[in-house]
Amino acid sequence: MTGDTRRIAVMASGRGSNLDALHRYLAALGPRAAATIGLVVCDRDAAGALALAYALGIDARVAAPGPDQGERLASLLAEFEIDLVVLAGYVRLVPDDVVRAYRGRLVNVHPALLPAFGGRGMYGGRVHQAVLDAGARVSGVTTHFVDAVYDRGAIIAQWPVPVAHGDTAASLGARVLRVEHLLYPRVVQAVAAGRVSLDDAGRAVWADATPRRGLTFVPESLEDHEIVRYIDDALDCSSR
């Protein structure tokens, strides 16, 4: 690590698959990684992400909901000298004082193309079923900065996932999750490296001022390494 390496706290409510994907990606980058995972925070003892963090040798804590959660969470992040907070399947609203303290340093991934199919209670299988019920032909992944309202913050990057004939919430969700695991770690690296930030007007801005909408259509049949090639090209990751 260097003095420029950012310390990440990953907040999760579920089994931790995005935590695992982020850990693997940063490890693969080696000295090129702009961040390291210094803490995992879960909202319940039974979260699989907690056990995964212990298995990976990462410090982990439980910050259960309650009237003083914001104060406890802010204190925990300060104790571990956290620079960037990464929500990875965290289903609760982040307390306002933490959102304010980490403005522009708090990111999330959502399993649909926001602003559609977002908001309170829209997570996991509920999102995918809503996509199917609406008759949408394309779903996808959205990464965004976090503000005080569920799924409203400035969009950093999106990637589409086609809805296939005969899809169920489970089958669509599996393909969306696959793309989450490829896109989200690269966005976290970009934010940690200062290549994308939140400006005073609340917009996501890339350091080189090049627009990156991440909306090149990707057929579902592509292998992971091919999707990675498209994502790296859209986000200009390959040379970083």
User: What digits encode the pLDDT tens for the residues 12-27?
Assistant: 999 999 999 999 999 9
The pLDDT value recorded for residue 228 is 79
How far, CA to CA in Å, does 207 sit from each of 195, 210, 235, 236?
5, 8, 12, 12
Q: Where are the beta strands (DSSP E) in the chain?
A: 6-12, 35-42, 60-62, 84-87, 106-110, 138-145, 155-162, 196-198, 204-206
- pLDDT score of 215 more than 60: no
Ordered by where they begin, the domains of the chain are 1-102 (3.40.50.170), 109-240 (3.40.50.170)
Report residue 175 as tokens.
Answer: 């393909």
- From the list 110, 128, 144, 181, the catalytic residue is 110
pLDDT of residue 212 exceeding 70, the answer is: no
CB atoms within 10 A of CB 49: 28
Average pLDDT, the chain: 89
Question: Does the pLDDT value for residue 1 go beyond 90?
Answer: no
pLDDT of amino acid 205: 87
* pTM for this predicted structure: 0.89
Gap between the Cα atoms of 42 and 193, Å rounded: 25
Q: How many CA atoms lie within 13 A of 89 on its CB side?
A: 23
110 in active site:
yes
